[in-house]
Structure formats: structure tokens, C-alpha cells
């Protein structure tokens, strides 16, 4: 897609599985040198191998985004080796089992907020100082449709993903003068291990409630990340892009009205 991403140094957090893995692979296909980061060494090494099998360039770094010292050390190592960091995808995250606020443990709240929100902050802060030296950079944060209207039973996840929106807007203003763009993606229901249980129970319902009439794939999100990080997107910043097949557009009333409308194929 963007063949002139050749030689770009791209750091992707949470690159060992799911959406992060597809982002790593698609960026490598476009010529970027991909720095795969994550907490599970076996997973990030597997992503690295998948890229190398495609004749792409990848390095694997074990990194816990919630650990400030670990983050700063890894970014320093990458910068010292390559002399620049062009792209940062703040993708690392997880969800906890559905729980109402009154039953949620401190550890479920703290752990998730620390990874999603503190992680994006630690990584962006560590990376931005290197990007500013080169007057160039692309940062993409991973929000969610849970950051649009919230998800009942996931107040920690919804809070973090909503906060990422404000974080993105503010950082875009701060870094714009240095040629650094900052945008965010709000994935909908994407087929990953994190959504497997919900899809096993409700896939047909989700498809029915999505205007595009399918479940999203990790590559759909990777394509959005590629757009934001491409060489022609330098005037696009502070944008929150939903990648959900139109899922959040539909309400119960919309679905009812669609069912009541005459079927054109039968007319």
C-alpha cells in the first residue's frame, strides 16, 4: 500500500497477538522496520517470525507498558540502535470479565487503567522526545466503541477508552508543531481472542445489528492504522476514526424500522 514506508521505524505495543499482530504484519509488508513489543516473549517472537517469513524486518522487545522504567529503557534502546522512531501504535490492552461497578475489584480497575491509559502515556512520552528531534512522527492510539457510549459491565475498559480520546486530542495539539500527528482508532467488534466468548454466544446478533453485516477482522483495524501513518497523512491529526462497520449507528429503533421497511428484492 505505502511502499515509501520503507525504512520507517515502527513501534507497536501489544504486537504479540490479535489486532497488534496484524498491524505489525501489515506495516512490515509496506516496508516498515517493525519493533514488536509485548509482555509475552513467545508471542512477540512468533509475530517476529511471521514477518521474517514474509521477508519483512522485525525485532522483538519484551515490554510491559504499565512499567515506566521498562518503557523508557526499551525506547532508548530502539532509538540508540536506529537513530529515530517514526511511528508508535499504542495498542497494548486487555479486558476483564464483565462485572458491575459495585462488584469490581481494585485490582481489576487499577490493572486495566494502568495498561491502557498509563501505558499510552508512558509510551507516548518516551517516544515523543525522539520524534521531536527529527520533526516527524506518527502516533496512533487505540480507543474503542466502548469509548463512545460505554459498555455496561466494563466500566474500567470504557473509562480507559474514553480517556484515550481526550489524550489524543491534547497530544495532537502539543506535538503538531513538530510535524508529529496523533490520531486514534475506535474498533468495534473485531474477531480476536478477546471477543471469542462473546462471538460464540452472539455472533449472529452482532452481524444483524451491524450495517456492513459482518464481524470486523484485525486487518480492518490495521488498514486504518496504515492510513494514519502513511506519508500522505501529514495534515490529518486529532482524528478519532471508528472501525466498526457502522455498529454504533444502529439503535433498537433503527433495527425495528429496517425490519418494517419493504424488501426491495421482493418488489
Task: Return d(Cα 236, Cα 92) in angstroms, integer.
Answer: 23
Q: Following DSSP, what letter does each residue of the chain receive, concatenated? A: --GGGTT-EEEETTTTSHHHHHHHHHHHHTT-EEEEEES-HHHHHHHHHHHHHTT-EEEEEE--TT-HHHHHHHHHHHHHHHS---EEEE--------B-GGG--HHHHHHHHIIIIIHHHHHHHHHHHHHHHHT-EEEEEE--THHHH--TTBHHHHHHHHHHHHHHHHHHHHHGGGTEEEEEEEE-SB-STTTHHHHHHHHHHHHHTSTT-S-B-HHHHHHHHHHHHSTT-TT--S-EEEESTTGGG--HHHHHHHHHSPPGGG-
Specify whether 57 is catalytic.
no
The single residue of 61, 122, 157, 247 carrying the catalytic annotation is 157
Task: Return d(Cα 234, Cα 198) in angstroms, integer.
Answer: 37
The angle at the Cα of 12, spanning 132 to 166, to the nearest 5 degrees, equals 65
Three cell numbers, residue 136: 516527524
**Catalytic amino acids?**
157
Amino acid at each position: 500500500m505505502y511502499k515509501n514506508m520503507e525504512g520507517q521505524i515502527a513501534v507497536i505495543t501489544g504486537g504479540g497477538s490479535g489486532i497488534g499482530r496484524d498491524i505489525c504484519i501489515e506495516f512490515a509488508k509496506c516496508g516498515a522496520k517493525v519493533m514488536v513489543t509485548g509482555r509475552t516473549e513467545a508471542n512477540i517472537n512468533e509475530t517476529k517470525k511471521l514477518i521474517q517469513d514474509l521477508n519483512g524486518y522485525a525485532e522483538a522487545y519484551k515490554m510491559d507498558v504499565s512499567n515506566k522504567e521498562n518503557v523508557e529503557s526499551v525506547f532508548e534502546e530502539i532509538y540508540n540502535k536506529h537513530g529515530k522512531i517514526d511511528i508508535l501504535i499504542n495498542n497494548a490492552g486487555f479486558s476483564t470479565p464483565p462485572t458491575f461497578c459495585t462488584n469490581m475489584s481494585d485490582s481489576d480497575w487499577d490493572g486495566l487503567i494502568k495498561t491502557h491509559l498509563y501505558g499510552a502515556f508512558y509510551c507516548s512520552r518516551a517516544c515523543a522526545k525522539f520524534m521531536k528531534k527529527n520533526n516527524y512522527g506518527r502516533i496512533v492510539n487505540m480507543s474503542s466503541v466502548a469509548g463512545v457510549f460505554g459498555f455496561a459491565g466494563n466500566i474500567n475498559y470504557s473509562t480507559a477508552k474514553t480517556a484515550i480520546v481526550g489524550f489524543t486530542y491534547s497530544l495532537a495539539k502539543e506535538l503538531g508543531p513538530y510535524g508529529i500527528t496523533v490520531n486514534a482508532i475506535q474498533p468495534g467488534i473485531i474477531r480476536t481472542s478477546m471477543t471469542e466468548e462473546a462471538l460464540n454466544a452472539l455472533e449472529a446478533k452482532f452481524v444483524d445489528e451491524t450495517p456492513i453485516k459482518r464481524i470486523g477482522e484485525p486487518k480492518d483495524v490495521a488498514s486504518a492504522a496504515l492510513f494514519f501513518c502513511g506519508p500522505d497523512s501529514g495534515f490529518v491529526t486529532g482524528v478519532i476514526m471508528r472501525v466498526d462497520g457502522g455498529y454504533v449507528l444502529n439503535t433498537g429503533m433503527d433495527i425495528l424500522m429496517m425490519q418494517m421497511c419493504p424488501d426491495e428484492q421482493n418488489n
